[in-house]
Structure 1
């Protein structure tokens, strides 16, 4: 069975994307090793676990304990249960340091996402992780990336070509439609922190969505057409694009996953079961 590396930031990663992937890989018999910046256990985005802080009253200490919209936007019960199990795993409790990772010691790499800027930027901007990702691609080992994890892959430059490791691959990632819709909701319900769902914001003169995951990833590809989204002809188009329905182990209809050779990608937590299963089958 495969030895899979999952690097994480110190905090604020998406619990669904990491924990469900860990659960699927572990049940398939693969060994999962985690890595964090300092070798200490990572902590997921707490709002994505509790839903607290995602409502209009979310800034009020007592009232925030009564989430409403937050219950719809947080990780679902399957993901929360997977997270509760993952944090008791001994490999999760004793991760490697990023600077101690030897890519040659692993058979495959999985990159979860997360959007909360305070924790995710260190992960997305780490030159150390970018070199690690490039090593896996150059060795043609299986790599999986979901949501903002695809952004980390897009920023990873091949020493052989001087281009993104995703150049020449087809991929998906968090789409601007999904990112923008969540941002619009947060600007109303979390008005005191309206940019919670945007990791990077546009600067003056940049078009709407220029710093979105989709547009930055697309700029790293060989052709804009290599960024894939759900085709309108898909019989489950509405189910896949609503941002309200998530897949399960037994129902892949809401999911959209792209596989190109040794590389698997997906858009958001609603794809994660199908994403992890597709990745597990590569090994």
Structure 2
């Protein structure tokens, strides 16, 4: 018998700074509205700091989070759970029904994307089919870099996944590089290339969805990829569908 949704718990794993406003606040809003308890953990055990340019506008007041997402973000920041996160090292991931790995692209994300504690705790979590893992945008890199000791392969080696697509990353970089340099390029390698390299058969495993640079609150242009207990999405424009898909999986546990 499945447990009522109101009894379910979800853990949002955040970098110390530079996480994406929409990819965190929209799922938080949808989960809490549905009665889930959402806890947070960071590397230093202090409240995480978002990429502040997404609140003010990346360039000329544009390319930032939408008004609704910013409202959700400010509400999330006032929640006792956000104000009192645990450290990665002190958090028992297995106490939760679902794990959310959000994205972001500014340089502060490297602390989170390169953390081995997260990877080590993620491996047994995703192996448990009664748990759900959601990763969006750069969050998918955490799975790509997590190596299952039983196989010596990435957690994405046999899984289908999407991620921040190369044309999305290139477009944002080319539009803003003249002013912000490598702000939109976290690493030399594109996210899509790293995800594909982690797969055994990327031609069949990698899922791009419909080409889109619009985003939509009504999910018209959104896309998520589902592979058993793993849900992945590409960018902030997918955040609503991403959260609703995870919620449906959690509700059916």
TM-score when scaled to structure 2? Answer: 0.93
2:215 matched to which residue of 1? Answer: 246
Task: Give distance in 1, aligned partners of 2:245 and 2:128.
Answer: 20
Q: Does 1:170 align with 2:176?
A: no
Q: Does 1:49 align with 2:55?
A: yes
Q: Summarize the alignment of residues 1-283 of structure 1 with structure 2, pairs less than 5 Å apart.
A: 1-51=7-57, 54-55=58-59, 68=60, 70-71=61-62, 73-117=63-107, 119-140=108-129, 141-188=131-178, 190=179, 193-201=180-188, 211-225=189-203, 226-230=205-209, 237=210, 240-241=211-212, 243=213, 245-248=214-217, 251-283=218-250
- Cα distance, 1:120 vs. partner? 0.3
2:4 matched to which residue of 1? Answer: none
Task: Give distance in 1, aligned partners of 2:201 and 2:46.
Answer: 39
Task: Give distance in 2, aligned partners of 1:158 and 1:195.
Answer: 32
List alignment gaps of at least 5 residues for structure 2: 1-6
List alignment gaps of at least 5 residues for structure 1: 56-67, 202-210, 231-236
- Cα distance, 1:280 vs. partner? 0.7
RMSD: 1.1
- Cα distance, 1:160 vs. partner? 2.0
When Rg is computed on C-alpha atoms for both structures, the one with the higher figure is: 1
Instruction: After the TM superposition, list the runs of 4 or more consecutive aligned residues in structure 1 that deviate by more than 6 angstroms.
Output: none
- Cα distance, 1:16 vs. partner? 0.4
TM-score when scaled to structure 1? Answer: 0.83
- 1:282 is paired with a residue of what secondary structure? helix
1:206-227 deviation line (CA, Å, top 9, x unaligned):
xxxxx10000011111211211
- Cα distance, 1:31 vs. partner? 1.0
- Cα distance, 1:187 vs. partner? 1.4
Size of the alignment, in residue pairs? 242
- Cα distance, 1:126 vs. partner? 0.2
1:60 matched to which residue of 2? Answer: none
1:98-134 deviation line (CA, Å, top 9, x unaligned):
11011221111010000001x1000000000111221
2:3 matched to which residue of 1? Answer: none
Report if the CA contact (8 A) 1:103-1:135 is conserved.
Answer: no
1:233 matched to which residue of 2? Answer: none
- Cα distance, 1:159 vs. partner? 2.2
